[in-house]
Structure 1
Amino acid sequence: MTEKVFEFINTNNLIEKKDRILIGVSGGADSVCLMHLLAEVYKDTDIKLFVVHVHHGIRDVEADKDEAFVKGLCDKLKIPFFAYHYDVKAIAAMEGLSEEETGRKVRYEAFFDAAKKNNCNKVAVAHNKNDNAETILLNLFRGSGIKGLTGIKPLSTMVTEFGCITVIRPLLPVTRKEIEGYLAERNISYRTDSTNLENIYTRNKIRNIIMDYAAKEINNNVIEHITGAGANLYEAYNFIEKNINDRFCAIVKEKQGIYEYDVNILSKEDIIIQKGIIRKILEQVAGNLKDIEAGHVNDILALGSKQVGKKLNLPYGMIAQKKYGIISIGKSSNLVSNRHIEKPEEEDIKIPGRTYLESYDIYIETEIIEDKKNKTFPKNSCMKWFDYDKIENTLKLRTRKTGDYLQINSQGGTKKLKDYFIDLKVPKEERDQVLLVADGSHILWILGYGGRISEKYKITDQTKTILSMKIKNAKEK
């Protein structure tokens, strides 16, 4: 087994010259094996080893004995020993976390602190092949994506609230049975955590019930098969991630913490690339993907077909917002602070022709239709049709002005644009950014927020000349 682990370490560059490695040792078979194996392999080298033990304050006397046991092993092997004490039950109750999650949190807090104090550049933990298989199943049951089904990695950089930790897992290529065999051959004792035998924790249920049943009743090589499937998925995941990263760079633009993409361009990608790009944006904005669910990604994709101005509230204070053919994603504070940066200039609309609005990166395309026979006028939020002969002034593409109004019924009733925005609950800070097509003070078309057009200009049976107007993102061909 020593040769297998040593080869795994070298293949994955887990340990290099002059490394200072902190080993997490609970006193159980796995961590005791890891400590002895590293001490054996790297004896009389420039690799320096340290041990940290975390007392969770749960098993009282039994936990005290575990600590004393690990300290005794370290004294025998002449490895510096550091113990950390926590009241996991109290912390879990105070922070509203499970004891499992809290235990993991305090362990990494201890790892980071001990590594920092001893100038250690890596932390070694004793995850083995069984742990890997259990993790894959656990993630599957929790509804994980492909990444979660790829299993535990030999080396990873963990970003915690306490800092960054480089974690290595030298025992990943060996099973728990091999570990116990290694210890038995060398007559090395270890402690058994009684809570590992209790099926009150999720992982214990998978380990003691599901995995045990699968090995006995389905296939006794279940560990190898599950971890093998994880390895295959990891290859597929890397291929997908490469393509996601390539398309992310081509499609997504970032400015002042706000990420934007063209809905039309993204929609042409395969759905797995679309979802991957969205998740990558969310990870960039939030800093991690914890609490980001598949539903959040699907809601953002669905936002692309919604009307202009629609937005989603997301975890970590993020907002996704629909603009004119564009989705913007960022922290709410960034979106608010950037909302008024570029107030568009007023533009005369060319009829017929194309009018570009640089600050929004869109253009209005217009056409005169003299004969409406055999013409269909489907409902479309980005394209509208008007009675051209009723237009009195040069049409303008602009934002609101004092005195703006629109006709709301066929009897000639009007409403101030300000009141219309209030009725529609358009946020006050967004009203100056809503684009309008205006005939003097009369608003023909409100671009977004329902896409309302004035009743005065609607096509009727008496209409002779039609003006078609279409709004397009400037990137559209």
Structure 2
Amino acid sequence: MPSGVTVVVGVSGGPDSLALLHFVKEKEKQLKLKVIAAHVDHMLRGDESAEDYIFVENFCRKEGILFEGVKINVRQYQIEHQLSSQVAARECRYRFFADVMKKHQGHILALAHHGDDQVETMIMRQIRGAQGTGLAGIPVKRSFSEGVIIRPFLCLSKEEINHYCQMNNLIPRIDKSNFTSKYMRNRIRNEILPILKRENPSVHLRFQQQSELMLDDEHFLERLTEQEMNKVIITKEAKRVVLSISKLIHTPIPLQRRGFQLILNYLYEGNVPEITTVHIEQFLLLLKNDRPSGALDLPSGLKVWKSYDQCVLSFESEKDAKGYECQLPLRGIVTFKKGKIIGEVFNSLPDHLQLNKNVIICDLEKLTVPLLVRTRLQGDCMSLQGMRGTKKIKELFINKKIHRSDRDNWPIVVNGDGEILWVPGLRRSKLALPSVDTREFLVLYYKDVHS
């Protein structure tokens, strides 16, 4: 631990965290540390957890340690966010730790996870089907808030920590919920871990070594994955990522799985809920099946849907996309979500003008103004140049294989009578076609966000 830093210690009042707080306090003068104890009463165990709060506060007062405590109604948070009690408690706890770090300009958050915790975590994640870094267990050090989290006790067993408490006359609080078989972690701790320790009393060191080796491998593979994902991702916005299916499925399968994890880390902003091999396989199966469209729901409201060669991962469903409508000036620029349209008027056609799907020319005198740019409406159809009758815009999108997530934001140009003049980048209508008698030419240019 470096000298001269501010260390926030997460303290529950149990043997592990009390030993850690005592250990850091012992190093305070030698390393010129500023030590702060941070305690959370999750309000899940009634009087017992309230007494834990008082115990930690009194201990800190006696030892001259700055105390920061909070009472959080985790049950209410759990219901509001539809989480398990353990996940809800963890989110509330770490949010408080982050607040304490910011308040005191903390450099280090020290937590008391030990070697036995590591064994339990790695077995539990294996059972639940974790992938990648998830299988590696609890990291010794990682970035957090304004600084880093460290876990200096990962090299120690529970027995060694209990011995430290005895040697230093520490009388910790005991959380009776640790002895119940209600939670998977407790069942592993009370039933499986003793068997492993009989085979090898230092099993926690073997698991820790395995964790560190796996993390090294995963970090290397993550760097390779990031390089591949730069080729796969089409657009990357807050809460929304669009990727190319064909490019993703042509990357090596191990990188496909890790690419999915990297995208989730970005979208969930690092707070990824429990994603298992089942979710990953469902995602890859969705992309690889022969159907041109499909959808998948992931935890915490993340939606996945595909259409042709594009796949969208977003917290906004397809139906939530917001429409727009704005006036298109005959001379000027209008900007919208998909890009922009530029209007110019000429008395004769410029020699440099190159016609393509992103440019149309109209006879200005044949147009009913004002022109509007809007998103599609139910039942939209248009009279196409070179065809009889009308064609539904929905059918036009399907024939041109426009991704479903793009259709609700695609610009449509209509005249003053509400008739569709142009679907930029796709087709124009029969309206206002120029002729040899045209005296004023309106030229519209479409530039999408990627051009």
Q: TM-score range by the shorter chain?
A: 0.5 to 0.7
Indicate whether 1:75 and 2:56 are aligned: no
The 3 A distance-change label for structure 1 pair 261 and 127 is: same
Measured in 2, the distance between the counterparts of 1:252 and 1:419 equals: 27
What amino acid is aligned across from residue 39 of structure 1 in structure 2?
K
Measured in 2, the distance between the counterparts of 1:191 and 1:145 equals: 35
From 382, 391, 400, give the equivalent of 1:417: 391
From 235, 239, 242, give the equivalent of 2:216: 235
What are the superposed Cα offsets for residues 67-87 of structure 1, whole Å, 9 maximum, x if unpaired? 343334323322112332234
Question: What RMSD over aligned residues (CA atoms) do the two structures have, in Å?
Answer: 4.4
- The answer as to whether partners of 1:406 and 1:417 remain within 8 angstroms in 2 is no
- The answer as to whether partners of 2:9 and 2:38 remain within 8 angstroms in 1 is yes
Where 1:22 maps in the other structure, the secondary structure is strand
What amino acid is aligned across from residue 188 of structure 1 in structure 2?
L
From 384, 396, 402, give the equivalent of 2:382: 402
Measured in 1, the distance between the counterparts of 2:338 and 2:291 equals: 20
Indicate whether 1:33 and 2:7 are aligned: no
- The answer as to whether partners of 1:21 and 1:49 remain within 8 angstroms in 2 is yes
Q: CA deviation at 1:232?
A: 2.6
Where 1:43 maps in the other structure, the secondary structure is helix
From 267, 273, 282, give the equivalent of 2:255: 273
* Residue 375 of structure 1: aligned partner: none
Unaligned runs of 5+ in 2: 325-335, 343-354, 359-379, 413-422, 432-451
Indicate whether 1:49 and 2:47 are aligned: no
Where 2:8 maps in the other structure, the secondary structure is strand
Aligned length: 367
What are the superposed Cα offsets for residues 13-68 of structure 1, whole Å, 9 maximum, x if unpaired? xx333311111122211111111111112324421001122223344444344334
* Residue 83 of structure 2: aligned partner: 97
Indicate whether 1:175 and 2:157 are aligned: yes
* Residue 223 of structure 1: aligned partner: 204
- The answer as to whether partners of 1:66 and 1:191 remain within 8 angstroms in 2 is yes
What are the superposed Cα offsets for residues 175-234 of structure 1, whole Å, 9 maximum, x if unpaired? 111112222233332222222122223321221122224434x55443333333322322
**Pairing of 1:368-387 with structure 2 (within 5 A):** none
Where 1:50 maps in the other structure, the secondary structure is strand
Measured in 2, the distance between the counterparts of 1:416 and 1:21 equals: 71
* Residue 155 of structure 1: aligned partner: 141
Indicate whether 1:303 and 2:256 are aligned: no
**TM-score under structure 1 normalisation?**
0.63
The 3 A distance-change label for structure 1 pair 278 and 52 is: closer
The 3 A distance-change label for structure 1 pair 358 and 124 is: farther
Measured in 1, the distance between the counterparts of 2:280 and 2:196 equals: 34
Single out whichever of 422-431 and 169-178 deviates more from structure 2. Answer: 422-431
From 180, 188, 202, give the equivalent of 1:206: 188
From 290, 315, 334, give the equivalent of 2:273: 290
The 3 A distance-change label for structure 1 pair 276 and 146 is: closer
The 3 A distance-change label for structure 1 pair 335 and 295 is: farther
What are the superposed Cα offsets for residues 452-473 of structure 1, whole Å, 9 maximum, x if unpaired? xxxxxxxxxxxxxxxxxxxxxx
* Residue 373 of structure 2: aligned partner: none
From 13, 19, 23, give the equivalent of 2:9: 23
Measured in 2, the distance between the counterparts of 1:328 and 1:261 equals: 7
* Residue 329 of structure 2: aligned partner: none
What amino acid is aligned across from residue 236 of structure 1 in structure 2?
D
Measured in 2, the distance between the counterparts of 1:422 and 1:436 equals: 8
- The answer as to whether partners of 1:286 and 1:316 remain within 8 angstroms in 2 is no
The 3 A distance-change label for structure 1 pair 343 and 282 is: farther
Measured in 1, the distance between the counterparts of 2:386 and 2:283 equals: 32
The 3 A distance-change label for structure 1 pair 210 and 419 is: same
Q: CA deviation at 1:298?
A: 4.7
Single out whichever of 114-123 and 136-145 deviates more from structure 2. Answer: 114-123
Indicate whether 1:252 and 2:233 are aligned: yes
What are the superposed Cα offsets for residues 261-294 of structure 1, whole Å, 9 maximum, x if unpaired? 5444433321111232233234334424326555
From 90, 102, 111, give the equivalent of 1:125: 111
The 3 A distance-change label for structure 1 pair 278 and 202 is: closer
What amino acid is aligned across from residue 118 of structure 2 in structure 1?
N
Unaligned runs of 5+ in 1: 1-14, 345-355, 360-399, 408-413, 442-477
